[in-house]
Amino acid sequence: MNLSDVVQARLWNQQVLADLLCLTEQGPLVFTGDVHDANLNGRVFGGQLLAQAFLAARDCCPDKQPATLHCLFLQGALPTLPIAYQVTPLQEGKRFASFHVSGMQQARRVIDAQVSFQVPIEGFFHAEAPPQVPDPEELPKMSQLRHGGRADWGRFEKSCAQLRIVEPQRYLCQPSSEPSLVFWVKLHERLPEDDAVQAAGLAYLSDFWVNSAAILHHVALVEARDRLFIASLNHSLWFHRPCRADQWLLFVCDSPSLQSGRALSNVRIYDQQRQFVASIAQDCLMGERD
């Protein structure tokens, strides 16, 4: 019997992220997720796939810190079917461990990921400083924005998270002059006091708004949802240091290239104390809707 046929999937309530991050162990190195977060295209949100693939690998390596998560989104995952995650150990050394994770819906492979973990190594250190921006509490909530006569900017948030855009007047109603964007994001509900769940929460958020720098250089935010089709293709996340995904995180985004319908986004993530905690690189499909 195919593991994806065991149960029917159900949609997440969009409130408590910890509920979405629960996987069921079906056997050695096999886990299933049967609660889904659907996106605007009617497919499973990429951040969910990233977080669940990470957790499947993490279950096989609980004694090292997260290092990298590299993911290829293959086919849109359907929110009506559970996803089976098969983990294959690639390397289990003294300092590093690496795992391959394949996500399947029946005969459809929807995600292919490699996750690595490491023992921290003492030594040299440097980190790029964040830009000088206001704290999130000093910025308006999305629901408080009134640019362009609109009063419904809160619809651009996810129900589980709040968003604060730095200089929102530059991006909402007209294309920006540069392919860059800075914003704060925070989950509404706290996550469990578990480093693995916190890292999975970061993986979930790492697919939220990170391609906006490329989009907003060409199309104003007010038009983007109705005008553009956008889908994540390749995604990489580097964990630099442990952080809490349920506290404010600063995303500093820029897009060095958009060509042939593919936009590249680079992102630096800082915590509220301005510590550099993670980096993202994402390749996404971006084009006009038919």
- Other Cβ atoms less than 10 A from the Cβ of 13: the count is 12
Strand partners, 278: 239, 269
Residue 32 CA to its chain's centroid (Å): 19
Per-residue pLDDT, 4: 41
Domains observed in the chain: 1-119 (3.10.129.10), 134-290 (3.10.129.10)
Q: Which two tokens stand for residue 161?
A: 């998270």
Tokens representing residue 142 in the block: 């999305």
Spatial contact of 70 and 232, defined as CB atoms under 8 Å apart = no
- In this predicted structure, what is the pLDDT of residue 153? 77
**DSSP-derived secondary structure for the chain:** --GGGSS--EE--SS-HHHHT--EEEETTEEEE-EE-B-TTSSB-HHHHHHHHHHHHHTT-TTSEEEEEEEEE-SPPPTTS-EEEEEEEEEE-SSEEEEEEEEEETTEEEEEEEEEEE----S----PPPP----GGGSPPGGG--GGG---GGGGS-TTEEEEESSGGGTSSS--SSSEEEEEEEESSPPPS-HHHHHHHHHHHTTSSTTHHHHHTTS-HHHHHHHEEEEEEEEEEEE-S---TTS-EEEEEEEEEEETTEEEEEEEEEETT--EEEEEEEEEEEEE--
Spans of the chain, pLDDT less than 50:
1-6
pLDDT value, residue 5: 45
Predicted local confidence at residue 154, as pLDDT: 77
Q: Which of 141, 289, 269 is nearest to 207 (CA)?
A: 269
C-alpha 184 chain-centroid distance: 14
pTM (whole model) above 0.95:
no
Segment 42-53, tens digit of pLDDT: 899 999 999 999
pLDDT at 6: 47
For position 39, what pLDDT does the model report?
85
Spatial contact of 4 and 81, defined as CB atoms under 8 Å apart = yes
Whole-Å CA distances, 6 to 11, 34, 142: 16, 10, 41
Neighbours of 64 (CB within 10 A): 17
